[in-house]
Amino acid sequence: MSLTVTELEARLVQFNKLMAELIRGGIRRTTFQPWEIEVLLDIEACDLRDSNRREILKRYQRAANKFFDRGGRSVLKLSEYLDKRHRRLQGAEAPPDAQ
């Protein structure tokens, strides 16, 4: 299902509200859109440590907003963000090829 620009913008607003709730420390509501449940399950599956959870969620939120700004047609999942970040860090740490 392809979303219109208006639907994508509404989803981004809702995503930012969801992230604000998580960063503050908890969710008080009891109803969610299916895509929000997917995001929450993905975050839970990433098993973030409490010590850096808020900071990672803030960085993830910024990355997801950039993803939308650059034309993303869905919500960036935390697992995708962490995987891209890990690959980027691994590439930066790789020693130059010896020739």
Residues composing the chain: 99
Instruction: Read off the pLDDT band of 96 (50, 70, 90).
Output: low
In a domain, 13, yes or no: yes
Vertex 59 angle, CA 58 and 65, to 5°? 90
pLDDT tens for residues 16-74? Answer: 999 999 999 888 889 999 999 999 999 999 988 888 999 999 999 999 999 999 988 88
Name the residue with tokens 């910024």: 62
In a domain, 99, yes or no: no
In a domain, 31, yes or no: yes
Residue-number span of the structural domain to which 87 is assigned: 5-93
State the total domains in the chain.
1
In a domain, 98, yes or no: no
At residue 85, what are phi and psi to the nearest 5 degrees? -65, -45
Instruction: Report the half-sphere exposure of 50 (CA within 13 A, side-chain side).
Output: 2
Instruction: Read off the pLDDT band of 3 (50, 70, 90).
Output: confident
CA R_g for the chain: 16
